[in-house]
Structure 1
Amino acid sequence: MARSKEFDVETVLTKAMMLFWSQGYEKTSMQDLIESMGIHRRSLYDTYGNKQTLFLKALERYLERLKTRVPDMTDSSTPVKPIIRRLFELAIIREEDEPKGCLLINTAIEIAIHEENIGQLVRNQFEKNEKLLEALVKRGQSTGEISSQMDSAVLAHYLHNAWSGLRVTVKTTDDLEKLYSIVDSTLRLLD
């Protein structure tokens, strides 16, 4: 008869996510994970597999968490510019217990090029983000809210690049005035 878990799988996965987010993949040892998650080594391997599998699950948890903070983009009556602004502001605003920056961007910089399956997850998410931005830009262009002088795909690529850069910059400064001025300058391109 199988033993029931003596811990909440989702709670300890969140703890792993927070540790990877604050320390990075390479710097986080299995011992760090065991201590942070508050479980035994055997339980970690039995439940999550190896470090890379646990990291992928933690990164997926992070992406799910982000979705809950993103504004509703399906409501076509909502103006587009405030939605795009909110996406950028989410890079700046963080919960008190959250590390600075973005786990997805950290992953892209640290290990995506060395680990194919992690890199594929990052590339897929970047592609989804660009498609989301392109759909928002197209909608804004169709209503006249966003200038049609630039191709929607090109503008989406630019916005995604700027959004990614902002998520790196927030790790280097606490100067909110500077960060919000970057958002303002970037979004002026939509006029």
Structure 2
Amino acid sequence: MARPKQFDEDRAVDAAMRAFWTAGYEGTSTQDLCAATGLGRSSIYNTFSSKKDLFERALRRYMADKNAGTFAVLDGPGSARERLRALLWQVIDAPDDDPLGCLVVNATVELGQRDKEIAQLLRLDQERRLSALTAAIAAGQRDGDIDKRRDATELAHFMIATIGGMRVAARGGADRRTLEAIANTALDCL
């Protein structure tokens, strides 16, 4: 008879997410995962089957959490420009206990070209964010809040690149003033 699990699987995925977010897939060893989750090696492999499986679950969790915040802002009150500003300021005002950078950007750079399953997951995530941003920008264009001379999808790609770039800049040590300058420059392009 199998022993019942003595841990919270969701909490373990969250802890692993933070470990991968901080050090990347290759930079996070099984021992690092044991330390982060408080689980033994056998518990990790019995529950998640592999480091890659745990990484994929952690990446999905990260995407769900970050996208929920993004979509809440995009569906929230205010003009399209105000909502896009709020989205940029989510990066600037990131919680102090969040690791710096972006797990999606890290995964794209580290695994996007060599792991088909992760690449597909990243593509689907980008399509969801691109669709939501395009809709918000197009609505802003209809309302006269955003320049109509630019294509809404191109502006959405620009916003995704700006947000990812800001997260990388923050990880590289950019201060608040620098991040605000980047955000304000992006808003000027709308």
TM-score, with structure 1 as normaliser: 0.92
Aligned to 2:156: 156
Alignment of 1:12-27 (within 5 A): 12-27=12-27
What is the CA deviation profile of residues 99-137 of structure 1, one whole-angstrom value per residue up to 9, with x for unaligned ones? Answer: 101111111111211111111111211122211111111
CA distance in 2, matches of 1:177, 1:132: 28
Instruction: Report which stretch shifted further, 80-89 or 134-143.
Output: 80-89
Q: Which amino acid aligns with 2:163?
A: W
CA distance in 1, matches of 2:175, 2:184: 15
The answer (yes or no) to whether the contact 2:67–2:129 under 8 Å persists in 1 is no
Alignment of 1:65-144 (within 5 A): 65-70=65-70, 71-74=72-75, 78-144=78-144
What is the CA deviation profile of residues 143-185 of structure 1, one whole-angstrom value per residue up to 9, with x for unaligned ones? Answer: 1111101121222222222222222111112411111011001
Say if 2:160 is the partner of 1:165: no
Give SS of 1:33's match. Answer: helix
CA distance in 2, matches of 1:40, 1:178: 42
TM-score, with structure 2 as normaliser: 0.92
Deviation at 1:68, TM superposition (A): 4.1
Query: Structure 1 pair 130/111, CA: closer, same or farther in 2 (3 Å)?
Result: same
Give SS of 1:17's match. Answer: helix
Q: Which amino acid aligns with 2:166?
A: L
| Structure 1 residues not aligned, in runs of 5+ | none
CA distance in 1, matches of 2:188, 2:150: 13
CA RMSD of aligned residues (A): 1.6
The answer (yes or no) to whether the contact 1:91–1:101 under 8 Å persists in 2 is no
Aligned to 1:61: 61
CA distance in 1, matches of 2:121, 2:80: 27
CA distance in 2, matches of 1:34, 1:14: 13
Aligned to 2:46: 46
Deviation at 1:72, TM superposition (A): 4.1
Query: Structure 1 pair 23/122, CA: closer, same or farther in 2 (3 Å)?
Result: same
CA distance in 1, matches of 2:91, 2:119: 21
What is the CA deviation profile of residues 12-71 of structure 1, one whole-angstrom value per residue up to 9, with x for unaligned ones? Answer: 111101100111100111121112211121211111110111000001111122134333
| Structure 2 residues not aligned, in runs of 5+ | none
How many equivalent residue pairs?
189
Q: Which amino acid aligns with 2:18?
A: M
CA distance in 1, matches of 2:87, 2:32: 32
CA distance in 2, matches of 1:108, 1:7: 31
CA distance in 2, matches of 1:74, 1:161: 20
Instruction: Give identity over the alignment, percent.
Output: 33
CA distance in 1, matches of 2:30, 2:95: 26
